[in-house]
Structures are given as C-alpha cells and as structure tokens.
Amino acid sequence: MANTLRIKRRASGGTGAPSTLANAELAFNEVDNTLYYGKGTGGAGGSATTIEAIAGSGAFVSLTGTQTISGAKTFSGTVALGSSATATTPTTGDNTTKVATTAFVQAAMSGAGLGTVTSVALTAPSFISVSGSPITTAGTIALSLASQTANQVFAAPNGSNGTPTFRSLVAADIPSLTSTYLGLSTGGTVSGATTFSGTVALGSSATATTPTVGDNTTKVATTAFVQSQGFLTAAVTSVGLSLPSFITVSGSPVTTSGTLTGTLASQNANHVFVAPNGSTGAPTFRTLVAADIPSLPYLSTSGGTVSGNLTLTGDLTVNGTTTTVNSTTIDVADKNITLGNVASPTDVTADGGGITLRGSTNKTLAWIDATDAWTSSEHFNLASGKAFYVGGTMVLSGTALDNVTVDGGTF
C-alpha cells in the first residue's frame, strides 16, 4: 500500500510561475522558493484562469532580511514604524489619509498665520427667527420661521412692487377662473359629460342636439326629433307569414287576432340541414358528403398521434430519422442494447455515442474516439462497500487509495 503524492516542481532554471496550471494544481519553484496555485477554471480541461503565489519566502515577507513589497497593503492592527521609517512626501495641500512626512509638515506650516475674525453674527427678515448668534468661538446659528397671524400668506404688496410680507389675500391676488368655472350670471359652455343628481329645470328657450331618426336611447328628444318619426295614417287589417319549405306554417293570415305557428316539415331519412357542397348558399336538407366531415380521431396512413394504449404483437421497425419516446418507465426484456449498429461500424461512427439524460444541463456517458475512452459529464457515486478496480486490482474505495503513484511532473 505504497502511495506517493508529488506536486509539480522546478529544481533549476528560471524564476517565476509556470506558464499554465490546472485548476487547483500546485507547483513549487525551488529557484525562487515560491509555491504557486492554479486559481479559477478558464478553459478546456480545467486550466486555471490565474496562477497565484500562495507560500514561500520568494512570495511573502520574511521576518529577517531586506525585501521590497509591491502593491497596496492594508493593516487592521497597530503598525509600529521605526525611527528610520520613510515615506513619499505628499503634494502641498493634500487633504487625504496619506502619511505626512516631516517635509510635508514644514511646507504646510511655511507662511501660515492666525486669522483676525473673533465673532460672527447673522440677521434675517422678521418672519425668520435667529438663534445662536453671534458665534465667538464655535457653535451653530439656527434659523426658524416666526409665528404669523392665522390665514395670512407671504405675498408682495397689493398693487405695487415691493418686499413680500405676511398679509391677507385680496381680490387682485386671485387669477381669473372663467376658463374653469361658469359665472352665475354670465353663463358659458361646459365641455365633457356632466351629471346632475337633483332636478334640472330647463327654461322655455332651452335647446338640445336632435338625435338621429329611430334613436331609442335616453337622449333628450327635441321637437324636430318627434316630428321626424311620422304619424300613424292607416291600421293593419291582415298579417301573414311565409317560411322556407322545411318549415310548415299554420294560422296564416291573422285578420283580427290569432297565432302564427311554424313546424318542421317531414324530410327524407338521414338527411341533414346543411349549406351547399363547395359553395355559399341557402341551407337545405341533403345527405352528407366527404367535404362536410371534420378531422376524426383515427390514425391516418399519412401519420398521426395515438393517445390511448397500443400493443403490437409483431415486430416494430422504425425507418425515420428521429425516434422520440415520451414515457415515464421503459421496460426491456432483452439484457443487451446495441448502439451504433450501422452497416460498417468503426471507431469514427461510434465517436460520441452513449447515453444522454436531460436535466438543467445534459448528463452524458459517451465514448470519445479522440481519447479512446468512455467519458462521463457527471460524478460517479458508488454504494457503500464498493470500489474502483483497474486491471482487476482495487485502486480506490471510500476509505483507501491503494497501488497509486501521483507525480506532478516539472515545469
């Protein structure tokens, strides 16, 4: 049970990372003492997107010796800088969190003096109250609206330009509303539908739009509408009724009062009431023809769908391009299924053959000619107590890796 695991390494030659690594693959360069890791999946076969240094004195700060650190670094704890620590001097006027050098401090203080302002006050119009004024050292000046007389508005003077004050509204402040409202004495035109819930009394001169002749709605009828309806000039003395030949009429005509009755006339057996065959026309009773019959639930010789159960007692041969089986369970008595059964089978005709299970992504078990191997797109999960064998020898089980040597190679 001798198992040896080795990662990829470089014992001599150039420094730096390998040109490529597989995803999650490790490689150690003994020339610059740096351990590299393949991060991310960027291509076919699981090649890494980036290769990052994760360990070794060639990639990380050591406790002793002189080293140069490149890139931005953030320290969350206390950083104690020695007396000989240096930094880049920021430009004059810089107001950020950069480290200020002694040169930056000297330049910032050069020519600096003290101001002469000792007190700042604020005044505001009378409708605004001021508090906290003046400020002699530090503080906040606060403004708030002063209390006003009820129902007064902030407006310019009535009839002249001037400073606004709080006062009562006057008629001159209100714009003309004649485009929106009707005056009680001037009248006007109302556009749009208007509903009155009370009684509306129309004067003797009230007019309305005359409806069309025969209108039978709730519109107002004008005198012109009434006149256009005409007047009864003669009384009806006899009413008769005639119907198509397939209906028999009785009680016709009615000269005083009575009932007109229509009954179906007798027809030839198996005749149906239908329009003419192949053309538009008056319906008659006749026998059905093929053009009258809609599509029926029978399987046509040109193909179709059988929705019920179907049992074949003989052999079934399908010569189409695609065979689709939409069932939940398929039971096959034969113990061997042959795939790729063509006239002249080769590895080329077998390439990509296998089984595909549909899911959110396809789950495939296929034979690939280029690798000369069965290839699965998914994991294999063996039952408890089962193992993988190669050439009759167990190499991998749930608890052991036997007879295996893994060598990462060199770069």
Domain spans of the chain, in order of start = 1-60+380-411, 343-378
Q: What is the rounded average pLDDT for all residues in the chain?
A: 85
Backbone region of residue 404 per phi and psi (left: phi > 0; alpha: psi in -120 to 50; beta: other values): beta
Quote the CA–CA distance of 396 and 386 in Å, as a whole number.
9
Tokens coding 11: 């014992």
Distance set, CA 220 to CA 183, 195, 211 (Å)? 25, 14, 8
- Whole-model pTM: value is 0.33
Phi, psi dihedrals of residue 109, rounded to the nearest 5°: -90, -10
- The mean per-residue pLDDT over the stretch 54-58 comes to 85
260: buried, middle or exposed (CB in 10 Å: 19+, 13-18, 0-12)?
Answer: middle
pLDDT-derived band at 375 (thresholds 50, 70, 90) equals very high
Query: pLDDT (tens digit, 9 = 90+) per residue, 236-276?
Result: 788 888 888 888 888 888 888 888 888 988 989 998 888 89
Percentage of the chain modeled with pLDDT above 90: 24
Q: pLDDT by residue (tens digit) across 25-40?
A: 899 999 999 999 999 8
CA proximity to 7, closest of 401, 400, 403, 406: 406
Interstrand relation of 261-264 and 354-357 (parallel, antiparallel or unpaired): unpaired
Main-chain dihedrals φ then ψ at residue 226, nearest 5 degrees: -65, -45
Q: What is the pLDDT of residues 155-211, one digit of tens each?
A: 889 989 988 988 888 878 888 777 777 666 666 777 777 788 888 888 777 888 888
What's the rounded mean pLDDT across residues 313-325?
86
pLDDT at 411: 80
**Position 368, amino acid:** I
Share of the chain above pLDDT 70, in %: 94
Range ranked top by mean pLDDT from 231-235, 299-303, 397-401: 397-401
Residue 29 CB-density burial (10 A; 0-12 exposed, 13-18 middle, 19+ buried)? buried
Tell me the HSE value of 263 on the side-chain side, using a 13 A CA sphere. 7
- Does 13 score more than 90 pLDDT? yes
Over residues 133-145, the pLDDT tens digits come to 888 888 888 888 8
Kindly report the backbone phi and psi dihedral angles of residue 171, in degrees, each rounded to the nearest multiple of 5, phi listed first.
Answer: -60, -35
- The answer on pLDDT for 150 being more than 60 is yes
What per-residue confidence (pLDDT) applies to 379? 95
Candidate from 5-9, 121-125, 170-174, 337-341 with smallest mean pLDDT: 170-174
